[in-house]
């Protein structure tokens, strides 16, 4: 799951501070043309904040679940539109490949099996993708020994 740099309580605090910061400067100008202009710009700013906050929370609903057993490796990718995509492979033939300097992202991580491949952890940081690679390689090695 993607990391959240701000908890729900922190988000509420930012929301309250922004609301106060947008309303207080307008109070002395209420009923004037300047007040109307300030209200329009403050309203637009507040709307954009809520819009992008909603998009941020929506992207946080993305996840990938990886299940590795002796007979099967399964990757379940849940997209933000609630669509689940599943990729299955044989742990014996599956390889973990990491491209350090890919055109897409740093530490581009994929699983390949008999000509098929799947990208993993696009929403993770490069260091987290490296940790995931090591974790999957260890799990695959254990599955091959089983």
pLDDT at 63: 78
Residue 2 in domain: no
Whether the per-residue pLDDT at 53 is higher than 70: the answer is: yes
Q: Specify whether 86 is located in the same domain as 135.
A: yes
DSSP per-residue codes, 35-76:
HHHHHHHHHHHHHHHHHHHHHHHHHTT-EEEEEE-SS-EEEE
Digit-coded pLDDT (tens) for 18-32: 999 999 999 999 999
Mean pLDDT of 89-102: 87
Q: Specify whether 47 is located in the same domain as 71.
A: no
| Token duo for residue 51 | 């819009």
Residue 78 in domain: yes
Which band of pLDDT confidence, cut at 50, 70 and 90, is reported for residue 3?
Answer: low
Mean pLDDT of 59-67: 79
Digit-coded pLDDT (tens) for 104-139: 788 889 999 988 999 998 878 888 889 999 999 999
Helices and strands in the chain: count of H runs, count of E runs = 3, 6
| Token duo for residue 116 | 């098929």
40 or 146, greater pLDDT: 40
Residue 87 in domain: yes
Q: Specify whether 136 is located in the same domain as 124.
A: yes
Q: Specify whether 43 is located in the same domain as 80.
A: no
């Amino acid at each position: 799951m993607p990391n959240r740099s701000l908890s729900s309580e922190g988000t509420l605090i930012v929301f309250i501070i922004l609301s106060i910061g947008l309303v207080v400067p307008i109070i002395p100008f209420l009923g004037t043309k300047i007040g109307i202009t300030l209200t329009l710009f403050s309203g637009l700013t507040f709307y954009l904040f809520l819009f992008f906050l909603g998009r941020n929370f929506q992207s946080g609903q993305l996840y990938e679940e990886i299940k590795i057993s002796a007979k099967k490796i399964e990757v379940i990718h849940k997209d933000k539109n609630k669509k689940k995509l599943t990729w299955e492979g044989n742990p014996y033939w599956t390889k973990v490949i990491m491209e350090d300097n890919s055109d897409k992202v740093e530490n581009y991580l994929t699983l390949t099996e008999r000509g098929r491949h799947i990208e993993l952890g696009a929403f993770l940081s490069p260091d987290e993708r490296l940790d995931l690679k090591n974790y999957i390689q260890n799990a695959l090695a254990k599955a091959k020994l089983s």
